[in-house]
Structures are given as structure tokens and as C-alpha cells.
Structure 1
Amino acid sequence: MAVNKDMLPRHRGSWIDWFHHKNVVFDATAWHCFHCWSLEGKNRMEQHEEFPTKIFAIKTTTGQEKNVARLVAAKVEMSKVPIKAILVPETLRGYVFIEAEGPHFVEEAIVGIKHVRSRIPGIVTFSEIERYIVKKPIIEELNENDIVEVTGGPFKGMRAKITRIDRTKAEVTLELLEATFTLPITVNSDYVKLVERTRTESSGETLNG
């Protein structure tokens, strides 16, 4: 189950774009993500280039990590503290990670927040937390009648409608929308990109991917 997009504050820019473009998400069983890194940020961190934001670790009361993150996110939204990201790893109890340009912004965001114990001195590198980031198979995001774009093979660039999904084999059967014939084709799900979700039965509205 992926993290609900509604949990992601959008007012801080386009930091979510790269992960959605690459179908990389934070697994809800591992992370609760209130924002994400951009490709530019990831590359700069990996190449040890100068970058305006850094990651800081916050020590919390064990079991209160999510509550701390929610309270900090609310304070950031209300007080306009320049915080870029708030992340909670399920497998590392008692810690919340915050991304900001400097420790003083982190201190401003956490002061007065219940169950915050302290800010750990120093910064955390991207490589230290990267193992918590998982790539979610695109097959899990697809449904019959979704509109996709073929990203590989002889039909690359063409749009198609999904008519059948074999999740065991990670394959989708497509009906090409731009072809003069209706011969179904079956491709690996890695070779399609979601363009438009199917209509919901309840509202009848199309959900854009």
C-alpha cells in the first residue's frame, strides 16, 4: 500500500516529482512520507555536491514517531517554517528525520512539540536512509481499462487501454488506441507508464495518473 498523496504538503515545491516519475514510492509498511526528494537533490547528495538542504535526525519517545511527524507537519504548515521533508521509518523506532537548510529551522519546527526528546548532532546522509526507499512494481498501480503509454518495443510511444492484467507474471494485455487494428498485445508491465486511471464506479470521474 502506497502512502496517500494527500499526506504530502505541496506548498514546498516539486520535490515529489522524481519519485512519481520513476514509480518509486515509500512503502507504507516502512515509511510514512510527508514529502520526497527530487532527482536533482538525490544526485547532488550522492555526488557530495554542495546542496542547500540537509537531513537531520530527531530523537522521539518510542511509539510516538508518527504523532511527532504529524504535529511538526502541522506546525510547518501553519508557521511557514522552511522544512522540506518529514520522514518516519517504521523499522527504526524512536526517530524522525527532517530535511531543512539548517539545524536552526529544525529546532524552530520541533520546539514545544510533545514527545520530541532532542535533535541528534550532525547530519544524516542520503545513503544512510536510502535502504528504506523501495521501488513499487508498476503492476500494483494498474487496473483494467487504465490508459497507459508503451515505453519500450515496437509500439513505444503509443497509448493503449489495459484489457487484462496478469499480476503473477507482471504482464498486461493492451488494446492500442492509435492503431488501425484491434489485435491485443501482451507486454511486461515495466514497459508501460500510467497515463489515465479508469473511471470509478461511485463517481464516474476519471482519475488522472
Structure 2
Amino acid sequence: MESQQPDQGTAEGRSRFYAIYVTGGYEERVVAVLAERARTLQLDVRSLVYSPDLKGVVFVEVGDVKDLYYVIRGVRNIKRRRPTAVNVDDILKLIRPPVAAAPVAKGDTIQVIGGPFKGMMGRIVDVRKGEVDVNLLEGDSKILVTIPIDQVKPLSKEERQGQS
């Protein structure tokens, strides 16, 4: 027996994602107005998303693009009346929370995993918000560099012994 799934070409089956450009700082207000209009007019607006880090853009998921044009018609603070189609993967990159960096402390031996010192080992001298001061252990001279905390990885005792 075949399962009955909505046709991917119809409005019920497939979502489309669009970026709407709004006046910077008004993203939350525009989302509230669009949500209320979609509810009142019973339009197929499935989600409204904005990121505080991305000023001037609101993302809308709709089943039918005609519903999008109805919901944005006449709304203040929308800069362009032509929404831009976007890929869902691009939206997820923007709204996912950043991955927490591995916990490091003063005196830890680390390996640099990004930036110009990638692959080098070092010892942490100081930890500040978002960055660490590292004494690089490569070569004869001790070089003190400041590196973003997300570009370092603490080494376990086994890894340190294997590198020596």
C-alpha cells in the first residue's frame, strides 16, 4: 500500500524560504507585525526568523509565495518589496548558536587549530574573554601570541607525550 504524501510541487508539501530586507533595528517589530497579519489573514506562513547578529534581514518560510506578498504588503520598515529566495542551509548557518570552545586554563598545553599558527603547540600564559595568550613551544625562541580561544585545543597527556 502506498503512503499518501503531499505532492512536492504543491503549496502544502514544500516550504520556500525568503529573506526580507528591513530597516536595521526593526527586525523584531516587523516579525511581530508579519506574524499577526499571517494569523489574521490565515496565510500559509510557516515561520518567521531573525538574528540579532544579522541586522536588517528577516527570514520567512512560506508554502506559497503569493501568501508572502500578501503578508508584507503595506508593512512599514520593509526596504524592498521583492523578497530574495534563500537556501535553508544558509539560514541555519546564521541562526545556530556558536559551538562552545573547549575549556582551557592557565598552564595548559594546547595545539593551535586555526589561523597563521595552525599546527603549532604552546602553553597558555593568560586567559581572557574570547582569547588566550600562548607561549609557542616551536623552535628555539619563546614567542608570545594572542589567539582567539576557538582556535586552540587543549592536549591530553597522551597527545603531549606523542608529540614530544
TM-score (norm 2): 0.48
- Based on CA coordinates, which of the two structures has the bigger radius of gyration? 2
TM-score (norm 1): 0.38
